[in-house]
Amino acid sequence: MKEPGEILPEREFDNHEVYPIMEQLVADVVAVLPDFPGFAERRGTRHSCPDEKGNEIEGWVSIELSYSFDIPTSETEQVREQYTDLLREAWTEAGYQITWDEASPDESQYNLSASRGDGITLWWRVWGLTGITIQSGCVPIGNGDEKPAYIPPADGVPLDAEHDPFGNALDPSVYAVAESSDETTDAAAVAPFTDAQAIPGQVPFSSPASYENQL
């Protein structure tokens, strides 16, 4: 049986160390987009890491950090077209490898993703709730799998549990605590990244529906 190190690439950070980097990458995205209207929500998703037979590799996880606009903003030409072009240019200039740059057959949807040298992927989603997803890829679990420290959300996200369930899970004291009968909130407070099924690495999902089902 192969050890995790024989299956997964060597990483420079664990799940705690990569999280601030992911938030900074979102901030960098905001910085290059003029007249930024502000995101509407922040969510986190956590995946197990599978081996070559699809079995979960103990001690490793893959996490995603997603920011989305509201529906009216998601449908604007500025967000769908202008921002896509600006991010393509910015990521290329930054030396990232563009790994997905494709519209759907009817051009109603668009996906732009780029991979960094450290294994992190940035994914600009132009469909449904348009926004940015940062994917860590498989990283070792650090700090005894305790929750990462709270970082305020990027520009525009209202500071409440409804629009930032991830931030509320990291530190419930920051926002108004939901009713104790809300089992979803209680569970999230234990595991801030919403658990999802294992995914093979960090290749962006092939269809919008498959991603939405992870939230």
Residues 98 and 81: beta-carbon distance below 8 Å: no
Residues 167 and 148: beta-carbon distance below 8 Å: no
User: In a structure prediction context, what are the per-residue pLDDT tens digits for the chain, which is 215 residues long?
Assistant: 455 555 677 899 999 999 999 999 999 999 999 999 999 999 999 999 998 888 999 999 999 999 999 999 999 999 999 999 999 999 999 999 999 999 999 988 999 999 999 999 999 999 999 999 999 999 999 988 889 999 999 999 999 999 999 999 999 998 865 444 344 444 444 456 666 544 333 444 333 332 232 22
Strands 194-196, 41-50: pairing is parallel
Where does 4-212 sit in CATH, by number? 3.30.2030
Domain-by-domain residue ranges, the chain? 4-212
Distances (CA, A) of 23 to 145, 148, 194, 213: 19, 12, 17, 23
